[in-house]
Structure 1
Amino acid sequence: MRSWPWNPILIDLDEGNWEKLDISAKGIIEAGVKLHKKYETFKGEPLENNLLVIGLGPFARSPFYGTNRMTAVFRSPMTYGLHVSAAGGVGFDFVRSGTSLIALKGKGKPSVIVIEGDTEGVHDVKIVNVDPSEVFNYSMLWGTYAISRYLYDTYGPGRGIAVGPFALRSPTASLVSLGLAHGHPTPWSVDLFGRGGPGSVMAQAHGVLAIYGIGNYEPPEISPELPERLANELLNKPYVRAVLEATTKYRYDPKLGTGGTFGVNYVHYRDLIPMLAFNTMYYPEDVRITLSNMALKYFWKPFQEETIARRQWGTCGEPCPAACKKVWRGTKIDYEPANALGTLLGIFDLEFARELIEVVDRAGMDAIEVGHEISWVFELLRRGLLKPEEINVNDIPNLDPTKFNPLEDSEKNYEIAKSILEQLIKGGSEIIDAIANKGIRLAAKEFDKRYEKRVKSAGLKFEDLAIYVAFGEKGYITPNLYWAPGMVAPLYVLGRYWTNYTPTFADPKSFAESSFRRAIKELLIDNSGICRFHRRWAEKLLPKMYEEVYESPVDEEYARSIYKEIAIYNKKAGAEPVPWETKKTYDLVATMAENMGSEWAEKFRRGEGIAWWKEFKQRVDELIGL
């Protein structure tokens, strides 16, 4: 019979040693919250006092599909509160390391950690000092691709997680995991723990550039008949059929003639897709439809012709019928990275977006955050709060829908975006350095003071042209790329799908209830290490899966208790949600209220929209039990 976590370990970078960890939990998030409470990481600064907890779920390497995600729990240097990020497929091979839960404590010199498993569990843990400049420039490769190849060449086949060079200078960096075939990255299995800055935590709080799992450990088997039996009992259908139906969007939807998040979202959401620095929320429907048609012709159609028609599909690294990973010209194309580095920036040429995605992945950046940063700078240039020469660019981007040429302006905007991206990674101007080093919120406050006359003349603060959710005095996170009030509503963990993320609007209390209900369901899935693309079957089977395998069921009350602990922690950490402080964030909600014909639209127009925020927050706290 399985027990979880199996062979958990604590790696102390201060002392340069490791030990077995004594902890009881049903999933990764619960374990992470307990450890962060134990070590009081809510004190001080996130990049000075932290604990990176990463783990595989209780059903890793099992006959259930989509159960091999690796999840990270950490205090975010962006939000300043506890955050959760995950990457698909990592666990399928990393499980051989012999452990399902790792906690990093303290900080040492730049190093890589190699965990080797044997038939009994963890056989050895090596902490090896490395030179960042060497491992990030190895074998004619750069960044995350270089260090991943270095690990393979040095320690043999395995699976790991790594940071890129950006993690050494920014609080917003991601963790990246590459599946390697004979040492070569496969484009399908390039997965990121993107949001909240986990790469920054691993690199700056712990001094670790990579964790690599090798060995031959296999966890106790789960009966291969169990998925079929549970599916027939609870869903009245065979298991594979249940999985295929639940993952239709991500594999291929015959009704839409496309598949994957990129393929489906552009034809499903159409004019509701955020484009041109999110300014589409201000445009009338006919203008939005024109832009949507433009995106379908120039941005989406090449994907259809080369990826969908030729079935360039694969998985994240585990056997899975969803085959959600769609590759275009050698690059994995998902909706949010492609939109963040494409139409959000006024780039309607998929090749230009693809090139930016490749740079972002190798640098170890969060594509969503980068898209917000660059589109914010675009807006600052257009509104005159910044001058091109101050950030080493030669022109002002065109985001005017009435004068937009999808061919000429895509190239123009790409060149400007490319220059800003290079400066974010390597430096080059004081302004872009401030954004890279501090993130949008603190950089904006600094610019308000530095350019006080411009702010007064424009009647706008620098932050007014950015979209982010504020936490406490310093924390923030930018929303996922949906015109959805739930993405900026006052919840304790945002920047992922722990909310109602549909493009809709409702009164604050009912919206809070639907958002919190979704958050609890997403937490259960993340806690168990299951891919959210499988949520439609997994949410129904999960309680019984726990009962059958671990004789300890989970339910929504269990998830609510974990969420409550996160909220309490975040309050202690000074990371409680605070009211919207940027005009554009406020407008994201106001425009959707207007679009839905809500009676709240008039209140938002009168500047009374914060009342919606307060009522939402009050109801969430009631639901949590605070």
Structure 2
Amino acid sequence: MKKTLLSIDAEKRTYAVDTIDEADVIGVVDYALSVLDPLNPGCVVIGVGPFAGSRLPGVNRITIAGNSPLTGGFHITSIGGAGYLFSKTGIDFVKIEGKANTDDYMVPVIKNIDGKLDVEFYTIQKDILRDIHLDDGLYSLESHLLEQYRDAFKVGEEYIDMRMLAAGPASLNTRMGALVSTLIKKGKFVPNADCWAGRGGMGSLLAQDHKVVGIVYGGNQDREFPVDLNDRTIVNKMFQKLSGESMLNVSKDATKKYKRGTLASNYASAGKKLPMFDFDYTIPSEKREHLYELLEDNFLKPFEEKVVNRTCGEPSCPTPCKKVYEGSKMDYESSNSLGPNSGIFRIEEIKKLLQRADVCGFDSIEFGNMTSAVLGWMQAGLLNKEDVGIDLPINFDPDTFKLQDSAFNSDFCMKLINDVAYGRTEFARTLGKGIRYACKYFEDVYGNKGKEKFSDFAHYASFGEGDGCIAQIRYRVLGAIIIPGVIPGKFHTDYSDTPQSPEELGKKSANRGVWEIVPENLGFCRFHRKWYEKYIENIFDDVFGKKLDIYNHHRKLLQKVIAYNKKAGDVLAPLETKRSIDAVKSYVMESESADLEKWADKMKREGDKAVGEYCEQARRSFNNAFID
């Protein structure tokens, strides 16, 4: 399939436009793996899928691919709705390589007005960027860039729609930097229209490896397809032919699970089993019930009373999946990480922490996973206030926790966010290198006090023998903990709450992983998976005249990722933290399923050894699914 590639050399401040016409390159991940070298990655790829710019629902995501500074291997992250305006530049993929030799940072400005593509390079001096970030973080950077380039996207008397990607101070000073993208209409930011690419530290990769802290883009070039996918009548006929229903009805049915949003539905389904106090699953059931009641009264009920529903900005998606509470968007995973898993149970405190993490440009899931570990270290006496550099009280003991302690823990986390984002202390700079690095470093510096280790109070997936790690998705399910997937930290595994044998878990996780790489590669929103997993092959054939075996194409794609990561030394390591091992053990032993009965007995008798055996068998089954 023909694709238009924009190559940017960040060192030379030059660009080139080329056409790619390779049969195996149908999406962003396909192309990224064709140009990235695992031993010397050297570039970041940003792009959209083959249907971006069309009226098909849920097809306008941007995917960002590169070598994760957290895991050390290939990773991808994506942003909902941001691909629609990207498609109007006439570009499919952007490849950024090279790095400026100065202290300055750079922002490419990509626009296509009336068929004329132009790329400009805006330079921001290091000191000026620091001052911008000190004001309101990455939102200040967005405002600064809009002031500079608002009129560049003016045609006659009208401003055309535009977007930008922006990185905050966390991208400059840590491995956990995220990217924000905000919709701009009529020369102004649309409130609560910011979307995030957080997992894997791609903001850090752009800022530190390429000195790129943002991208401004927009245009008025409509994408052309062999079949006019901008004609609603034609698109509706396609859906009627495939399903007997209109596009709108198919889309509504596919996404109805998300109409309530991820926050309310996932908290309700997890109940007292949701992660709390640093993923501590040794908390007794009665205490968990009490803590969940606190959360219901002080977080979930106030949220449900005042929540406002919004879409992500995807043109043809009818589902208001974004939930806004008093001007602040909230999702399940981030609110859990910087909420009950960090010992914080009141909505105002959680909201303020999420807002501050966003301002600083953190992946709030990754950072919240770290705050809970630090609080655990403090509570256990492994570190004191002088070690951490924060002279504030905390109570991270679930047995003695009272609601007013939520404020103490919140104040501590707020100070930690600012310290780490700006690298203000040696302790903060150590945390900025990732939770696994921090555990190893602090064990070397402080030693183990008693029987407990720093890694006892952490929960992460580890890769290779070095520092590679990432926070898993915020569920106590075996797939997420044991088999985080070829692309970890996301839903690329069997994340169902289903007790099953290790062999079955491995097979199901591999199958789910194949289907989850599909939307990342093709720029789809995974909330629409119920329809595209059924019909995408037919639509490909109808639009492009191309017979495509979607499943096998993406199974082979994951085989390429696995081979890449092996060369990069980014191989999933055995569970190495007590929190992770205890989560598996408690899940199996609490299960009343016949599929896990023998494993529950074995774990009662043999403890951690049996957990390791279960994990090894599940991972072997997963890996075997990708061997031809």
TM superposition score normalised by structure 1: 0.91
Q: In the alignment, what sits opposite 1:244?
A: 252
Deviation at 1:395, TM superposition (A): 4.2
> Which of the residues 461, 466, 472 maps onto 1:479?
472
Structure-2 separation of matches of 1:209 and 1:497: 27
Q: In the alignment, what sits opposite 1:208?
A: 212
Identity of aligned residues (%): 29
Is the contact made by 2:311 and 2:318 (CA closer than 8 Å) also made in structure 1? no
Task: Tell me whether 1:393 sits opposite 2:390 in the alignment.
Answer: yes
| Counterpart residue type for residue 583 of structure 1 | K
Is the contact made by 1:472 and 1:575 (CA closer than 8 Å) also made in structure 2? yes
Q: In the alignment, what sits opposite 1:378?
A: 375
| Counterpart residue type for residue 27 of structure 2 | G
Is the contact made by 2:486 and 2:561 (CA closer than 8 Å) also made in structure 1? yes
Deviation at 1:319, TM superposition (A): 4.4
Task: Tell me whether 1:440 sits opposite 2:414 in the alignment.
Answer: no
Is the contact made by 1:326 and 1:334 (CA closer than 8 Å) also made in structure 2? yes
Structure 2 residue runs of 5 or longer lacking an equivalent are 154-161
Task: Tell me whether 1:303 sits opposite 2:303 in the alignment.
Answer: yes
Judged with a 3 Å threshold, the aligned counterparts in structure 2 of structure 1 residues 464 and 206 are, in CA distance, closer, same or farther, namely same
Structure-2 separation of matches of 1:596 and 1:247: 30
Structure-2 separation of matches of 1:486 and 1:571: 21
Deviation at 1:339, TM superposition (A): 1.4
| Counterpart residue type for residue 488 of structure 1 | I
Q: Secondary structure at the match of 1:282?
A: coil
Deviation at 1:389, TM superposition (A): 2.4
> Pairwise mapping of residues 30-429 of structure 1 onto structure 2 (< 5 A)?
30-36=30-36, 40=37, 42-44=38-40, 49-108=41-100, 109-120=104-115, 123-135=117-129, 137-138=131-132, 142-156=136-150, 157=153, 158-220=162-224, 221-222=228-229, 223-251=231-259, 259-279=260-280, 281-307=281-307, 311-316=308-313, 318-406=315-403, 408-429=404-425
Structure-2 separation of matches of 1:449 and 1:515: 36
Q: Secondary structure at the match of 2:164?
A: strand
Deviation at 1:502, TM superposition (A): 2.1
- Render the CA deviation track for 1:513-538: whole Å, top value 9, x for unaligned: 11111111111122110111111112
Task: Tell me whether 1:529 sits opposite 2:523 in the alignment.
Answer: yes
| Counterpart residue type for residue 262 of structure 1 | L
Structure-1 separation of matches of 2:12 and 2:423: 33
- Number of matched residues? 598
Is the contact made by 2:53 and 2:88 (CA closer than 8 Å) also made in structure 1? no
Structure-2 separation of matches of 1:416 and 1:201: 28
Deviation at 1:450, TM superposition (A): 0.7
Structure 1 residue runs of 5 or longer lacking an equivalent are 252-258
Deviation at 1:290, TM superposition (A): 2.3
Deviation at 1:282, TM superposition (A): 2.0
TM superposition score normalised by structure 2: 0.91
Structure-2 separation of matches of 1:565 and 1:265: 33
| Counterpart residue type for residue 216 of structure 2 | Y
Deviation at 1:184, TM superposition (A): 4.5
Q: In the alignment, what sits opposite 2:613?
A: 611
Which segment is superposed worse, 173-182 or 331-340? 173-182
Deviation at 1:139, TM superposition (A): 11
Judged with a 3 Å threshold, the aligned counterparts in structure 2 of structure 1 residues 487 and 117 are, in CA distance, closer, same or farther, namely same
Is the contact made by 2:133 and 2:169 (CA closer than 8 Å) also made in structure 1? no
Q: In the alignment, what sits opposite 2:550?
A: 555
| Counterpart residue type for residue 110 of structure 1 | Y
Is the contact made by 2:459 and 2:471 (CA closer than 8 Å) also made in structure 1? yes
Structure-1 separation of matches of 2:9 and 2:357: 30
Structure-2 separation of matches of 1:140 and 1:443: 26
| Counterpart residue type for residue 612 of structure 1 | Y
Structure-2 separation of matches of 1:149 and 1:350: 28
Q: In the alignment, what sits opposite 1:256?
A: none
Deviation at 1:388, TM superposition (A): 1.9
- Render the CA deviation track for 1:101-153: whole Å, top value 9, x for unaligned: 10111111411101121444x61211222124434655995221112122222
Which segment is superposed worse, 612-621 or 194-203? 612-621
Is the contact made by 2:506 and 2:618 (CA closer than 8 Å) also made in structure 1? yes
Which segment is superposed worse, 153-162 or 365-374? 153-162
Structure-1 separation of matches of 2:241 and 2:247: 10
Q: Secondary structure at the match of 2:290?
A: helix
